[in-house]
Amino acid sequence: MIERSFTMIDPQGLHARPASALVKVAKPFGADIKLVADKAVSLKNLMQVLSLGIAPGTTFTVTAEGDDEAAALEAVTQALQSEKLAE
């Protein structure tokens, strides 16, 4: 398992449009990808991701475990940065 921590920089936090983009990036990977804030949820499930209510300034972690975990974590990292959500 590998993981990377981020801080939410979007002034609106993690809302529907960017959350949907993250789920779309995560779904093709075989790895189990989790978004961890107060609890851990699947990054492949939009409703679970939105349930975290990640607000601006919140630190969160993305974990990936499986055969393509490195590629999955890199793709999610790229999506977070290109959407200007986290650093």
15 is a catalytic site residue: yes
Q: Select which of 3, 5, 7, 15 is catalytic.
A: 15
Amino acid identity of 71?
A
Rounded CA gap, 49 and 26, in Å?
A: 12
Rounded CA gap, 56 and 84, in Å?
A: 12
Rounded CA gap, 71 and 69, in Å?
A: 6
Do residues 6 and 64 lie in contact, with contact meaning Cβ atoms separated by under 8 Å?
Answer: no
Active-site residue set: 15
